[in-house]
Amino acid sequence: MKEIVILSGKGGTGKTSLVGSLACLAENKILVDCDVDAADLHLLLDPQARSQNEFRSGVKAKVVSDRCSGCGVCVDLCQFEAISLSHVAQINSLRCEGCGVCAHFCPEQAIILEENYCGNWFISDTKYGPLVHAQLFAGEENSGKLVSFIKRQARELAEETGADLILIDGAPGIGCPVIASLASVDMVLAVTEPSQSGWHDLERVLDLAAHFRLQSFVCINKWDLYPEMAQTIEASCAQRGVEVLGRIPFDPIVVACQIQGIPVVCNEQSPAAAAIRQIWQDLRTR
């Protein structure tokens, strides 16, 4: 079984549109949306939830007001500026990291730790195969843990069903959800766009993949918006020994398909779709 994660560094370069299309093209796979705080893959794949489950992780501190003497010990100990005092201690739960230090040292035992319900996760059926996805509640932390969790679910499902491939839509950036999505993958496909920003962010994502000794491939989306930059990116990839699998042209049909809620490869006329088919032909044999 192979695991491929689609990343980009910079947001909005076309990860989800590409994964939606690869979902149509690849056979016998499990799909995973690891962009758990702004998940969009479901908008293309029309999933029917088979199961919905709560994701609980970590704890949040809570003050039992009638036990609190207002001594302020917790305020001084908290490294996250999550506690303030107005007669009794008040906890800003969005700042609370759940370290439990306040509860441990409270002389009145007035702070309790409650398990944190921070999102939902789903196993769904789509026309293109099972999709494991999640929604972290707005403003929550622990996105890395949720990513690790749904990836584990996907792996179990893949073993049960004998899938050959796990195809993962990653988050933008290079931080905790991205690092979590890299665990145990076989390769990274980085989607970039021919701009200074796209290139800058691609370099950081390729550095990250290299840091974890992962093999990367690149594709350049909307390459014809700035062909010289596409060339610069290709040269820079060649220099670091990363193969550029393909270029996808700017194509308004991509947006039209997104509005219809279908992957772009479903459109026979789309030049972008033709390029994506070619990229998949190449990638599947790696």
Residues binding other proteins (CB under 8 A):
9-13, 16, 35, 37-38, 40, 43, 58-59, 77, 79-80, 94, 97-101, 104-105, 136, 138-141, 143-144, 171-179, 193-198, 200-201, 204, 207-208, 211, 222, 225-226, 229, 252, 255, 258-259, 261
Cβ proximity to other proteins, 49 vs 99, nearer residue: 99
Separation CA 176–CA 95 (nearest Å): 17
Ranges of H-type helices in 57-114: 73-77, 101-105
Separation CA 90–CA 149 (nearest Å): 31
- Burial class from Cβ neighbours inside 10 Å (0-12, 13-18, 19+) for residue 232 reads middle
Answer whether 36's CB lies under 8 Å from 119's CB.
yes
Cβ proximity to other proteins, 110 vs 178, nearer residue: 178
Tell me the closest approach of the beta carbon of residue 191 to other proteins, in angstroms.
11
Cβ proximity to other proteins, 165 vs 242, nearer residue: 242
Tell me the closest approach of the beta carbon of residue 102 to other proteins, in angstroms.
9
- Burial class from Cβ neighbours inside 10 Å (0-12, 13-18, 19+) for residue 30 reads buried
Tell me the closest approach of the beta carbon of residue 46 to other proteins, in angstroms.
12
Q: What is the DSSP letter of 151?
A: H
Tell me the closest approach of the beta carbon of residue 59 to other proteins, in angstroms.
7
Ranges of H-type helices in the chain: 15-25, 42-45, 73-77, 101-105, 143-161, 176-182, 196-211, 227-239, 252-260, 271-284
Cβ proximity to other proteins, 64 vs 77, nearer residue: 77
Cα angle vertex 153, ends 206, 217, to 5°?
20
Cβ proximity to other proteins, 165 vs 272, nearer residue: 272
Separation CA 28–CA 281 (nearest Å): 15
Cβ proximity to other proteins, 106 vs 163, nearer residue: 106
Tell me the closest approach of the beta carbon of residue 18 to other proteins, in angstroms.
13
Answer whether 45's CB lies under 8 Å from 131's CB.
yes
Two tokens, residue 253: 């049909």
Tell me the closest approach of the beta carbon of residue 192 to other proteins, in angstroms.
11
- CA nearest neighbour of 215 among 194, 247, 237, 193: 237
Cβ proximity to other proteins, 15 vs 29, nearer residue: 15
Cβ proximity to other proteins, 19 vs 165, nearer residue: 19
Separation CA 32–CA 19 (nearest Å): 10
Tell me the closest approach of the beta carbon of residue 118 to other proteins, in angstroms.
9
Tell me the closest approach of the beta carbon of residue 268 to other proteins, in angstroms.
21
Answer whether 230's CB lies under 8 Å from 223's CB.
yes
